[in-house]
Structure 1
């Protein structure tokens, strides 16, 4: 069974936690306290940054947009003094998924933030949005949840707290503003072009979603909130203050009559949203037309609430990452017995060197997951299976994991066998620093220990660190079966040296 190293760090009632959502249109900060298992927001801030508007035709993030983002994060950080860093998560969505120079922004932002940014995949964003909606609007209905963001729109069908179907499409209010309403003019022709473009994207997923079905529709995000507020103020919502298809059609006509974004003065549309509002309405109208939606309930809970509930799960036995790893083990028919042996040995080695190498509980989790999954590539081919494992880990949608976590695990896969190369050391260090280098070497030792796939018990290993670049491994050779292990370990000495670590092997006889 997988063990979460954070289980002993559960939040107490009234303890604070926080989430920062680096969106394509706006940045959001939410600070909440735990109240009898429920997340209660005590601070909620939002700033229009429009990172997506700062992307040029080559998806390069401009200096002005980067500066707006960094300045906003600096203001958010000033509000986080009372929140412990381990209770904070920072997630980034479509704009940083698309930006080719995202690493530059992330590096500068991480110098400001108490926790590093996690760039999450579109389907992971969808999962977290559903988690936020389902905790905010409890229901046993099978629901379709829609979240129109600045750069992408997420679609989730789920029931209770469990998502069934998730998807993220490249259409959002900022991106569509740049494509169809860039000059600020609002015309029937512009609307028709935007709706047609959205319909084309929606038709790709419509069949699967209609087949799965739903009984109610919930919308989250600033766009849907603004639409709902306008419809309520105009009397175009229904008696339950739900967004209606006819109401959105009325709103489209009203915007065309207004003719320019600078003249949008509608109750419920904040000034910072005026410029992207027509594009958001066009996307919403296309969704309602293609999916045949008559009304939508608005939910105040969305991504940042989902991030906090997901973080809450990480402090208990409900960490979705653990379930994801077990699902991958099953999907790729990983040899569970072998995996558990490698997990056990890697854990023992980790405990022996955690303090001198400055490793964290997060590092322990990463090593454990990689140990479970290091042979998943065998499902494709035995030849270079470590490369197949790395590719699958880096490029799959894995619930609970950020892009950087998947990249780090991929590096562990790539370097757990065969020759270690200098260029791989540089790449590994760039992705995860010294800690990831050490994890690669620990996994390598654990895999070597069980190279023979023997049914006999593992030898007793004692790893000592005289300094970070000098490791001493004592092997208690209690069976002749482990003569081959010693040969493998002696061969590893040369490989470790290529990464600047002097490995000494000390065999001893069992007393």
Structure 2
């Protein structure tokens, strides 16, 4: 990845939501993201989840067809300036990996399934860049499968939550076949209130100055109220207007009858569920009015990507925060990082490793000892678990899975069958990074700044590696013993590690 983006260069984001897929293309203009093109299609992945939480073939085909159309608009965007994120529907789908594998044949970049709180962070980033700073704000985004709540100031989120309630999911549960009734609406409201019960007190105690909504449900409700003359003078969505909209909606008996001016036809089917969720939110959080922002997840994804180019990568801040939280030794981490990067540079060209691989290795090197906060015994497994199951700002589930495997295999014995697991998750590149990290940790077992012999790593081919140790290696007997042991572990993953030194017997 290049170090910077100049003005006029393009960025793009694909947001694979539970209800709709969105494509946004933007140019960079004096550090700001200016949208130049967009597409949106109602795919309704969440509606394609069967009773076993598997995506139906029909839903998968809708999604793949949409992505193929999006790709046709991306010819002017370089792949490293594109991010593709998926949200709640693919978080829930048990067979999501099948869809991702099919999509990989179409897309120029892998899909990143992001956690709920990461989705919330990115939504806040998109909203905050679209509005003037105005104190502390509460941002609400009702999606197809989940609803995100964020309290933040300026561009920094303070509280982020993602709750399992969305307009598509609630439509299936409470408004099956499109039928509308007071009883169904009340049940949906009660369910949303229950879902919010775990965050309501914390959020109300924290407080906010303004409330902002984003995405389709809130946009549709606001537009209806504006057209009906039921919004305030600033065209905000108000509590009184929302209650009147509820009364008007419940006069319809089926979603096909809904005929509010300005409501898109594809939004009719999910309007009752979306309105019920919004009604509950106003009630539980005691909201009087809500402004609307065009900024949303896709804009946040592009701003986050822009930050990576400008060396303001939230992932590096998250790594440092994790080290602090789990009291990782920063000096030892830095030693391992420096060694890992040196070894990486020696083999990167031969193994076709990328800058992204280098970044992943560096972050894993910083985090390799966080499991010590739980227990010294098997701390690599504890660290892997923490990385797999934590909410880490900036990281997708795939990123965290890669980090978890690196930490899990950085020490102790390598099982031959574990290599297949790593290959399945991250291919040969992740296998190579595992081996480089192992060597970097091994070479710093002394945990001191005492000078090590000059060491260079090279490869004859991907299955034959060579570690050159300058001088008389017998000056470092423990290192020699460790390297002998490591040769055995490398063989378990079908890599020969050959050690060259003036007085070292390989």
Quote the residue 1:497 is aligned against: 491
Q: Which of 378, 383, 387 does residue 381 from structure 2 map onto?
A: 387
For 1:123, the equivalent position in structure 2 comes to: 117
Aligned length: 504
Are 1:485 and 2:458 matched, yes or no? no
The equivalent of 1:34 in structure 2 is: 28
**SS at 2:316's partner residue?**
helix
1:331 to partner: Cα distance: 0.7
The question of whether the paired residues in 2 share the 8 Å contact of 1:152 and 1:170 is answered with yes
Matched, 1:159 2:153: yes
Q: CA deviation at 1:339?
A: 0.6
1:74-113 equivalent positions in 2, closer than 5 A: 74-113=68-107
The counterpart of 1:218, out of the listed 206, 209, 212, is 212
Corresponding residue of 2:317: 323
Return 5+ residue gaps in structure 2 as ranges. Answer: none
Q: CA deviation at 1:103?
A: 0.3
In structure 1, distance between residues paired with 2:36 and 2:174: 38
Of 20-29 and 250-259, more deviation after overlay is shown by 250-259
| Shift, 1:481, TM fit | 5.4
Q: Tell me whether 1:46 sits opposite 2:48 in the alignment.
A: no
How far the C-alpha of 1:119 sits from its partner, in A, is 0.2
Distance 1:222 1:449 in 2: 54
- Structure 1 residues 481, 206: closer, same or farther in 2, change over 3 A? farther
Tell me if the contact between 1:19 and 1:90 (Cα under 8 Å) persists in the aligned partners.
yes
Task: Tell me, in whole angstroms, the C-alpha distance in 2 between the residues paired with 1:207 and 1:119.
Answer: 30
Change (3 A) 1:421 1:152: same
Report the CA distance between 1:480 and its aligned residue: 5.8
Q: Retained in 1: the 8 A contact 2:474–2:480?
A: no
Q: Normalising by structure 1, what TM-score?
A: 0.97
The structure-2 alpha-carbon separation of the partners of 1:482 and 1:454, relative to structure 1 and needing over 3 Å to count, comes to farther
Instruction: Provide the rounded CA distance (Å) in 1 between the counterparts of 2:435 and 2:192.
Output: 48
Shift of 1:348: 0.2
* Structure 1: 4+ residue segments shifted above 4 A: 477-481
Contact 1:465–1:471 under 8 Å retained in 2: yes
The equivalent of 2:423 in structure 1 is 429
Q: Is the 8 A contact 1:476 1:509 kept in 2?
A: no
Q: Is the partner of 1:257 in helix, strand or coil? A: coil
Match of 2:8 among 3, 14, 31: 14
1:457 matches 2:451: yes
Contact 1:217 1:297 in 2 (8 A): yes
CA drift of 1:509 comes to 6.6
Q: Which moved more, 1:24-33 or 1:471-480?
A: 471-480
CA distance in 2, matches of 1:142, 1:42: 30
Q: Could you say what the CA RMSD is over the residues aligned between the two structures, in angstroms?
A: 1.1
TM-score by length of 2: 0.98
Q: 1:333 to 1:477 in 2, by over 3 A?
A: farther
Unaligned regions of 5+ residues in structure 1, if any? 1-5
Q: Is the 8 A contact 2:473 2:502 kept in 1?
A: no
Deviation (angstroms), 1:158: 0.2
Report 1:58-457 matches (<5 A). 58-457=52-451
Q: Does structure 1 retain, via aligned residues, the 8 Å contact 2:473–2:480?
A: no
The answer on whether the counterparts of 1:474 and 1:508 sit within 8 Å (CA) in structure 2 is no
The answer (yes or no) to whether the contact 1:23–1:95 under 8 Å persists in 2 is yes
